[in-house]
Amino acid sequence: MAADEASLGVLILSFLALILASAYFSSSETGMMSLNRYRMNHLRRSQHAGATRASKLLEKPDKLIGVILIGNNFVNFLAASIASSIAILILGEPAPFATAIVLTLVVLIFAEVTPKTIAALYPERIAYPSSIVLGLLLKVLYPVVWMVNFVSNMLVRALGFHPQADGSDQQLNQEELRTVVHESESRLPKKRQGMLLNILDLEKVQVDQIMVPRNEVTGLDIEDDMEDMLEQIASAQHTRLPVYRKDIDNIVGVLHMRSAGRLIKTENLNKAAIIQETTEPYFIPDSTPLHTQLFNFQSKKLRLAVVVDEFGAVKGIVTLEDILEEIVGEFTTDLADSNRDIFAQEDGSYLIDGGTSIRDINRSLSWQLDSESANTLNGMLMEILQSIPDSSVGVKLDGYYAEILQVKDNVFRTVKMWEATPQENLPFTD
């Protein structure tokens, strides 16, 4: 009797040990597969031992899963055999049905659901320590793992799949990366999150969407009188001015205000000296994406470019600061109040200059106007109306209303805009 009790105690302890081992393998599998690969690679580059071990194991996922499943199935089958022996000692007969029910519940609760749930919630706490034992087991059981993987890989190939994935499904495309940034909202300050999203948008935006249009470009006409040129230099609000001859399409150089100030101090100031101080103009096509132009500015060590169309005519000016503002935003706290082209009204509407870019309006007012078909508010309204009206006209946009208040020189000078509400149904042009 005493021998039976001792044998029962050993069997129960062995059974509990096997359940713990099964829990270890189950949690290790979930923990290793739930690791954030990007964070793991970051820790690995920081010489984190656990991340280094886990990364090495995950380089061959078939062998990792093989050693985990071999160990897990072995301890589960052994636990089932011991459970049958325990049932015989306690009940005097095998009782396979009752043993199966009890064993299933015990394995599910203590060796599967609970450890896997913990591992899914805290993968790094489970995976990194587990990688020590898994690495040792892989070395000890390598012949068995190799044989199992060899047979399973043959079956995988027979089913039309390739056992060695190329890893392309682990690489994030731009939209997936955008989703990652959005989901990191709780960990990233809002401004940093916005900057990251703006960087991803640089590829979609072209220079002609953010440039200063030619009718707003401030420059020096070398054919003007010297007094007029000096007055323009003194009142310049930019650090660089394009210098042209008679027409903006004939730009001869770019003058830095520091060079202009140095010239003013000399006694032999003349137009030839001004031209000599200019740098060669840098022309770029209007379809250049912002991210490309940002790198071009960096490589050429320039800060201003002249935007031209397909016929070589000047469309406007774009600067390095313009692109940086697309990333960090305007350097103000209230964009709608600070934008000189957008004026808030007491009734909740806005008076907007027709030359304002759609992107500036969207950024300043947090609107969602379509910026694909036109760059400015003028362009959008002209595309809808297909004409330039003589009097006030209302236009219904997608979720917004626009009322043209002033037309001058064939452009819309002042437009009143506001967000549409479900109750509003104005007789405006669609």
* Domain boundaries, given as residue ranges, for the chain: 2-164, 175-204, 206-320, 335-419
Range ranked top by mean pLDDT from 147-156, 300-309, 366-375:
300-309
**Residue 329 burial (10 A CB sphere; 0-12, 13-18, 19+):** middle
Q: How confident is the model at residue 133 (pLDDT cuts 50, 70, 90)?
A: very high
Its pTM stands at 0.61
Q: How confident is the model at residue 362 (pLDDT cuts 50, 70, 90)?
A: confident
Which residue carries 């031992």 as its tokens? 49
Give every CB contact of residue 130 below 8 A, 6+ residues apart in sequence: 24, 27, 28, 31, 32
- In single-letter form, the type of residue at position 364 comes to S
| Positive or negative: CA dihedral 351, 353, 354, 360 | negative
Give every CB contact of residue 166 below 8 A, 6+ residues apart in sequence: none
Percent of the chain with pLDDT over 70: 90
What is d(CA 208, CA 216) in angstroms, rounded to the nearest whole number?
A: 14
Give every CB contact of residue 222 below 8 A, 6+ residues apart in sequence: 229, 243, 244, 245, 252, 271, 274, 275
Q: What values do phi and psi take at 314, rounded to 5?
A: -70, 130
Per the CB < 8 A criterion, the answer to whether 94 and 87 are in contact is yes
The encoded tokens of residue 281 equal: 């103009």
Q: How confident is the model at residue 315 (pLDDT cuts 50, 70, 90)?
A: very high
**Is the model's pLDDT at 426 over the cut of 80?**
no
Q: What values do phi and psi take at 429, rounded to 5?
A: -70, 130
**Is the model's pLDDT at 296 over the cut of 50?**
yes
Q: How confident is the model at residue 4 (pLDDT cuts 50, 70, 90)?
A: low
The pLDDT, as a whole number, for residue 333 is 42
**Is the model's pLDDT at 101 over the cut of 50?**
yes
What is d(CA 181, CA 87) in angstroms, rounded to the nearest whole number?
A: 55
Region 13-41: mean pLDDT is 91
In whole angstroms, what separates CA 71 from the centre of its chain? 41
Instruction: Provide the mean pLDDT of the chain.
Output: 84
**Is the model's pLDDT at 204 over the cut of 90?**
no
Region of 47 please: left (phi>0), alpha (psi -120 to 50) or beta.
left
Region 138-147: mean pLDDT is 90
The CATH code belonging to domain 206-320 is 3.10.580.10
Region 73-81: mean pLDDT is 91
- The three-state secondary structure class of 273 is helix
Q: What values do phi and psi take at 211, rounded to 5?
A: -70, 160
pLDDT digits (tens, 9 = 90+) for 265-293: 776 678 888 888 889 999 999 999 999 99
Count of H-run helices and E-run strands, the chain: 18, 12
Q: What values do phi and psi take at 415, rounded to 5?
A: -130, 130
Do 206-320 and 335-419 come out as alike in CATH topology? no
What is d(CA 317, CA 314) in angstroms, rounded to the nearest whole number?
A: 8
Per the CB < 8 A criterion, the answer to whether 295 and 278 are in contact is no
Q: Which CATH class is domain 335-419?
A: alpha beta
59-80 burial, b for 16+ CB within 10 Å, e for fewer? eeeebbbbbbebbbebbbeebb
What is d(CA 396, CA 250) in angstroms, rounded to the nearest whole number?
A: 40
Per the CB < 8 A criterion, the answer to whether 141 and 70 are in contact is yes
Q: How confident is the model at residue 110 (pLDDT cuts 50, 70, 90)?
A: very high
